[in-house]
Amino acid sequence: MEIIERKKDQSEVKMLSPLTWAYIGDSVFELYVRTELINKTNLKPHKLHIEAIKYVKASAQAKILEKLKDKLTEEEMEIVRRGRNTQNHHLAKNATVQEYMYSTAFEGLIGYLYLTKQDERLKEILDMSMDI
């Protein structure tokens, strides 16, 4: 059962800005990380938050993407390239410009897979991300 209806088809999703993919990808990744932490630990909410930050901060996402590159398909690498090269006028806080670019690319990939309903592949990448 799909809880959240994703109405756009793949061709419509491809036409979206990579920043739109990253916008939803940020939420999808954070929800996944929080859920995994709750499933695998007995931490209290404040400690859960501290632990989650280790995964969702820009520098961590940039490292995850760097280690995932060899496991991505050509299409996924193209999504990453588009996300990385997108002009973002947001100033990175606690991250270098390069880390921020790569974290945006990572979030873009997650968002793209989510919006195109590639749930099995999305789960594979999310699982690999937690292992890195």
Which residues have a catalytic role annotated?
A: 26
Closest by Cα among 119, 123, 117, 121 to 5 = 117
The rounded radius of gyration (Å) of the Cα atoms in the chain is: 14
Measured CA to CA, the distance from residue 130 to residue 16 in angstroms comes to 27
Residue of 54, 62, 60, 57 whose CA lies nearest to 36: 54
